[in-house]
Amino acid sequence: MTPSPEPFPFDRHPDDVSPWWFWRRADHDQQRRQLELQRLAVEARPGWQLGDRVFLSELASIQNEVLVLGDRSYVAAHAYLSDELRAGRDCTINAYSVVRGRVQLGDAVRIGAHTSILAFNHTMTDPDVEVFRQPGTTRGITIGDDVWIGSNVTIVDGVTVGSKAVLAAGAVISKDVPAGAVVGGNPARVIKWRVPPTGSPAGAGAEDPLARRVTAWAERARAQMPAVLARSWSPELPGGQFVDRPGHRPTVRAQCDAIEIADLWLGTAPTQLPADVQADRLRGWQDARTGLVPELDLAGEPDGVPTDWHDHAAAYHVLCVGYALDLLGSAFPEPIHAVADRSAEELAEFLDGLPWVERAWSAGSWVDMIGTALRWNLPRGVTARPGFVETLFGWMELHADPGTGMWGAARAEDGMLQPVNGCYRATRGTLAQFGVPLRYPERVIDTVLAHSREDRFFAPARQNACNVLDVAHPLWLAAKQTAHRRDEIETLARRLLGDAVGHWIDGQGFGFEAPHPGAPEPGLQGTEMWSALIWLLADLCCLADTLGYRPRGIHRPEPALTL
């Protein structure tokens, strides 16, 4: 019997570097060894799930705690994987690729050699501590179905790549890629379209009626925004102040809404007063003992002193005043002592006692305040009491309902309105603000999509800024983690976006409620809220670039701080 020839000396590992051939040409012993190694790996790592005809090269470094690979997916020689990877069927990770952090791939995602998909980052908030010694963060990377990723591509943390996209060799992907786009360069930009866009600004201006409508509205609204602000200015109040709408009493929120609107649309502070004067006034309203800001009286002066974090108006001022000062390049003169002085035990008791069943929105608003107080306190070195931060985020993790992804429960009178609205408030000031992922993003999407079918809240004439914002934000946040039901999300976002821009009233702005007989007239609160939620909806359907603005205050899309 003639002995088998020795393998060509420069081709000793053909299946490791070209694993797509393995299940076709490997002999019985090689296939049996591969299956046995996979069996042992799954037994050793409870977080591993491997489909049929998966191939893992023994020359790869696979250190994952979670590894889910669908049928016919493979990992080639010298690839380096760690942390959490969930991939669908027919996915390929070719030689020398790096996939680390929390990464989710759809079906048929093909990754070229020497590509880096890095779903983590280092913080660098403290210049006195070497970067490698500072804590890491992860927002996750989500890649849809049928995505072709060329060699030497780099994808950074927080990016979502839509289905049927193509990432050209050498591209650096630092922001979301629309479905069907072909992108390249550093930073990557849309070169052309593999699939005709339904909502991408790169080609939709001439093809997509919604894109044209949104662009035209944004241009009209920007031109009218100085008049919208002037309409709510009351020079007769002490020092001159904003009111929400003509004839209304002065409020702290009105000053902050005016600052948010001017920054968003005009890139400046409201022109009625110098920016430093506006900042000094907001700073002067803070109570030095509690760190809270009281409401104003009818004459426009601070009305007493907040006694505790239970003061509802003062709690919201932690958000609106803090972010208004941030936009003005300033900050609170004092920490938020009402939060900094609390123990972890007090916080746990407080969270447990919130009305999650009866009024989940109200409960979520308190969580929003607590998280935002940390956002202002921590950068100035005011550390919370031991265990406080862990208690806040741990409580949210442990109490999220695995069936809905939210906190609270449906009520007979309004269904899931309270939990959905409460989810927005609770996550805005914590998970979104600190770059922490949702525990059950798919369930959040399922819950919000089901809730959005309630015509009593989402028929065009019955919409209000709160209910639409509280749908847009959870969907936007969850879609950063998963491609689950992406097409349905975009369909809903396009519908709500079209409705929203139609609610604008020339020369006056947005009312809190959609225009209808008996609706209150437009004001600053409605204008700020609708402007922010329109950006979120536009971003969900790849139209954000048509607006010409991006929120930087309360509704900023980037985390304000990382833990």
Q: Active-site residue numbers?
A: 122
- The secondary structure of residue 378, as a DSSP letter, is G
Structure tokens at 468: 């639409």
E strand or H helix at 322 = helix 312-327
User: How far from the centroid of its chain's Cα atoms is residue 60's Cα?
Assistant: 33
User: How far from the centroid of its chain's Cα atoms is residue 227's Cα?
Assistant: 32
Closest CA to 289 of 340, 214, 325, 245: 340
For residue 460, whether the previous peptide bond is cis, meaning omega lies within 30 degrees of 0, is no
Q: Are 91 and 108 in contact (CB under 8 A)?
A: yes
Q: Are 147 and 110 in contact (CB under 8 A)?
A: yes
Structure tokens at 90: 């027919």
Task: For residue 511, give every residue at least 6 positions away whose Cβ sits within 8 Å of its Cβ, in sequence order, or none.
Answer: 503, 505, 519, 520, 521, 522, 523, 526
Distances (CA, A) of 248 to 296, 297, 480, 487: 12, 12, 39, 43
| Integer Cα distance of 313 and 294 in angstroms | 7
| Integer Cα distance of 298 and 241 in angstroms | 12
10 Å CB burial of residue 259 (0-12, 13-18, 19+) is: buried
Task: For residue 337, give every residue at least 6 positions away whose Cβ sits within 8 Å of its Cβ, in sequence order, or none.
Answer: 289, 290, 291
Residue 452, helix vs strand vs coil: coil
